[in-house]
Homo-oligomer: A and B are copies of this chain.
Amino acid sequence: MSQNLRENEVAVTAAPPTDAALRFIGHIRTPFTSRALCPRQGRPDGPECRLVLRAPWAAGLAGLERFEFAEVLYWLHESRRDLVLQSPKSDGAVRGVFSLRSPVRPNPIGLARVAILRIEGPEVIVRGLDCLDGTPLIDLKPDHCAYTVAAPDKPADRAP
């Protein structure tokens, strides 16, 4: 897949991605039904979006209501994965993929910090997302900063 390169962009040929495997835990409902409608990044005052958990994972939401903010990981399922140098402005100036927050990445995982508005059964209503309607959901966890305050210094270790 080396077509559609902008000036000076570099695509690499990498081995098939077989190092680890993901299971989607649900999907995300947003008002953004095309890429053109997606904002550059989520805003705290953006529209309400829904994280819809699938069975058997909805039970894992217990306790989330005590947090105001969460980190959401999702799979950017429409992104190509082979561009190591990219030209965001299409002007011939290229930058490495790891200096960009472009959705085009070797592992196209999106990350957003969202405000938790409410939880309705298997659905979490949030603000702050920028992704396409129908985006697969990978993970959801209390926001790092919020968690730091509430957590004890060092809990019991969890065996693998």
**Complex interface: chain B residues within 8 A of A109 (CB):** 73, 109, 138-139
Interface status of A33 (Cβ within 8 A of chain B): no
Contact with B along A10-34 (1 / 0, CB 8 A): 1011111111111111000000000
| A90 closest partner in B (C-beta) | B156
A17 contacts B23, C-beta separation under 8 Å: yes
B21 contacts A96, C-beta separation under 8 Å: no
Q: Within the oligomer, what is the number of copies of this chain?
A: 2
Interface status of A121 (Cβ within 8 A of chain B): no
Known A20-B75, A75-B20, A136-B19; judge A62-B99 contact (CB<8 A): yes
- What is the size category of the interface that chain A forms with chain B? 35 or more
A20 contacts B22, C-beta separation under 8 Å: yes
Known A71-B111, A89-B156; judge A64-B106 contact (CB<8 A): no
**Complex interface: chain B residues within 8 A of A64 (CB):** 96, 98-99
Known: A59-B84, A98-B141. 18 other contacts (CB 8 A): A10-B59, A12-B56, A16-B23, A21-B22, A23-B81, A57-B97, A60-B98, A61-B96, A61-B98, A79-B158, A79-B160, A88-B155, A98-B139, A100-B142, A101-B141, A101-B142, A101-B151, A104-B158
